[in-house]
A and B are shown apart, each in its own frame.
Chain A
Amino acid sequence: MATKKTKIDIDALLNPSNTDFRMVQIMDEEGKIVNPDLMPELSDEELVQFMTDMVWSRILHERSTALNRQGRLGFYAPTAGQEASQLGSIAAIEKEDVLLPGYRDVPQLIKHGLPLTKAFLWSRGHAGGNEYPEDLKALPPQIIIGAQYVQTAGVALGLKKRGNKNVAITYTGDGGTSQGDFYEGINFAGSYQAPAIFVIQNNGWAISTPRHVQTAAPTLAQKAVAAGIPGIQVDGMDILAVYAVTKKAREYALAGNGPVLIETICYRFGPHTLSGDDPTRYRDDAELEGWQAKDPLIRMRKHLTEKGLWTEEKENEVIEAAKEEIKEAVQEADKAPKQKVSSFLKNMFEEPSFTTAEQIEIFEAKENK
């Protein structure tokens, strides 16, 4: 017996795709827990560690800016405002997981085990900054926006093939979601059900281009639909929410379900990079002030102070320790040996070619003068 089919209304189909991508929040701007059922199980020490990490990162940002202005650092992409997004996500990641950061993701790299001195050498443009010990499961910050996404699909497939109980995590910005490699990366990982966590740190701006110019999609998290994988939008100024969502994504991926795309809604208070970008050319002060009121440090500070876990004194201790650590790391970086072209040539291939060997000889002679 033929069943009567429902008539398809094409006019009704011509609507923007709009599924439920509500932003996950656990702690509001006043430091109140607004979604207690989502609250991850965290000890007081762990909560304090979150705050400590964020204060450390803010100081690292401030000192990096100052050191850049003094010419003691080179390339630097400011991180202030993104502490919850960066440190909440990396806190949910194990040491054996693999991190593929973008150029703004230096704080995660350091938390994952990169010595601060090496981070500074990377900023200066010194090869020593990218000499990673084998047990540091990470790559140096990726400059080609999107490349880290396709590479992450490969790393995650590798982990799956080895039967490792680990994930690959990568980061890009809102602008990066317009790249082909962004889509190919999440689609490949989805196709192979590979354990990957793809994070979009949506700070509203790609240099001077606002988020709405990138795409008509109302959320970036919903881009996951194109890969057939889950996408979650989270309050990127709320470290508890970022941590909880990333932790869930990790469990989900390790259970063999494949990758997850996470969009963190955050803001960078500073310029795109310190290489000449001036955000006052394209951003309103009012917008900046609005976001500063959502500062992830302010709300976590309120939360912990209310619980009696944080004091001004404690914060000052963290600040002083961070400044000292940074000072020592810079001094250590100053001691790095002068780079040699002959070493660069030796690092091109396992066995140098005829012409490379010739050039090694020429440069070694120059360097030994």
Chain B
Amino acid sequence: MAQKTMIQAITDALAQELENDPNVLIFGEDVGKNGGVFRATQGLQEQFGEDRVFDTPLAESGIGGLAFGLALEGFRPVPEIQFFGFVFEVMDSIVAQMARTRYRMSGTRTMPIVIRSPFGGGVHTPELHSDNLEGLIAQSPGIKVVIPSNPYDAKGLLISAIRDNDPVVYLEHMKLYRSFRDEVPDEAYTVPLGKAAITREGTDISVITYGAMVREAVKAAEKLEKEGISVEVVDLRTVSPLDIETIIASVEKTGRVVVVQEAQRQAGVGAMVMSEISERAILSLEAPIGRVAAPDTVFPFGQAENSWLPNATDIEEKVKEIYNF
């Protein structure tokens, strides 16, 4: 086992799946010789050849169509969309084409595609690089949305996603790429899709979150512990479909919940989590379900990120409010 960053864990997973299955193809803008704008595909073309890892023209919709057509010919495409803010160019291919194919053709054709794409705030990117748009895809039937929060999960979830026979959008938070290291096994392993993780056990209140907010929630939980509040942090890992069982079990245990997302209040999947809890566990609730989310504005100008993005302090305050309700 080695200490690895999330980006190294992702490269590891891609290399192992290229090795493991000759149908796996990686393509996108600058993913070949350049190794990707974040080095996620570093060295892969050199190792596996231009036939397996290749650059595309600069057109997201074309990349989506390419993935669709290659899947139809029996490949397992792993295309990259350079930044998820560019997903609007390829929405049709993702939600109106790949996501519908199994249903549309009654299972006679399938789309084993994984769309990798970076997103997320805190690194002062230019416009439309950091937007949290997972909610758009999560609303589309027929596709899974996976968001890892640490290197170990990143590798295991990506391998599971590539081996899954349905389309998966795999979102990589840019701030998590190199901000910390984790023990990551060298060999290939899987982390199941559709299963949340209890990142930190607690008894007083559940914080249900995903992506970069998991670390913020843990930070808040550590502080709150000193004040005598025991916080359970649930990392959704897959935001669509939701792991209802894990969510409800945690809520039934603690009786109090705060749902946390980086996306705007009107976006993300927080509202979905809250409605599932209301429907399934209202009798366990001692207080209303709290929510931490970004303001309902367009993603902020770079210099305003710190005052806009939700953080550990926001979580801490909301947890106290719900705990003391």
Contacts and interface: CB of A to CB of B under 8 A. Distances in A.
Nearest to A127: B106
B66 A162 contact: no
Interface in A133-173: 133-134, 139-140, 144, 147, 149-159, 161-162, 168
Nearest to A184: B62
Interface stretch (A15-23, A42-50, A353-361): A353-361
Contact of B105 (A130, A150, A188, A354): A130
Contact of B56 (A128, A132, A140, A188): A188
B93 to A, nearest CB: 7
Contacts of B245: 354
A158 B75 CA distance: 8
B166 A144 contact: no
A139 B72 contact: yes
Contact of B69 (A127, A153, A181): A153
B142 A348 contact: yes
A151 B59 contact: no
Contacts of B67: 154
A218 interface: no
Contacts, number: 136
B62 A187 contact: yes
Nearest to A352: B241
A344 B73 CA distance: 24
A187 B102 CA distance: 28
B69 A132 contact: no
Contacts of B61: 150, 180-181, 184
A191 B62 CA distance: 11
A140 B65 contact: no
Interface string B67-110: 11111111100000000000000001100110000111111111
Interface in B106-130: 106-110
A350 interface: yes
A134 B68 CA distance: 17
Contact of B51 (A152, A153, A154, A161): A161
Interface in B229-248: 241-245
Contacts of B109: 132, 139
A134 B72 CA distance: 11
A131 B69 contact: no
Given A144-B96, A184-B62, A188-B56, A355 B69 contact: no
A98 interface: yes
A150 B75 contact: no
A139 to B, nearest CB: 7
Given A134-B108, A150-B66, A181-B61, A349 B102 contact: yes
A19 B104 CA distance: 42
Given A130-B105, A130-B106, A147-B92, A355 B242 contact: yes
Interface string A317-348: 00000000000000000000000000110011
Interface in A280-320: none
Interface in A160-207: 161-162, 168, 180-181, 184-185, 187-188, 191
B108 A151 contact: no
B144 to A, nearest CB: 8
Contact of B62 (A132, A133, A144, A150): A150
Interface in B248-295: none
Nearest to B25: A161
B69 A168 contact: yes
Contacts of B110: 350
B104 A130 contact: yes
A347 B102 contact: yes
A131 B101 CA distance: 11
A188 B59 contact: yes
Contacts of B73: 98, 154-155, 158-159, 161-162
B67 to A, nearest CB: 6
A151 B194 contact: no
A293 B54 CA distance: 51
Given A147-B92, A344-B103, A348-B141, A353 B62 contact: no
A140 B93 CA distance: 15
Interface in B18-76: 51, 56-57, 59, 61-62, 64-75
Nearest to B105: A130
Interface of A: 98, 127-128, 130-134, 139-140, 144, 147, 149-159, 161-162, 168, 180-181, 184-185, 187-188, 191, 343-344, 347-350, 353-356
Interface of B: 51, 56-57, 59, 61-62, 64-75, 92-93, 96-97, 102-110, 141-142, 144, 164-166, 194, 241-245
Given A153-B66, A158-B70, A354-B241, 10 more contacts: A130-B106, A140-B104, A152-B65, A154-B69, A154-B73, A156-B69, A181-B65, A344-B103, A350-B165, A355-B242
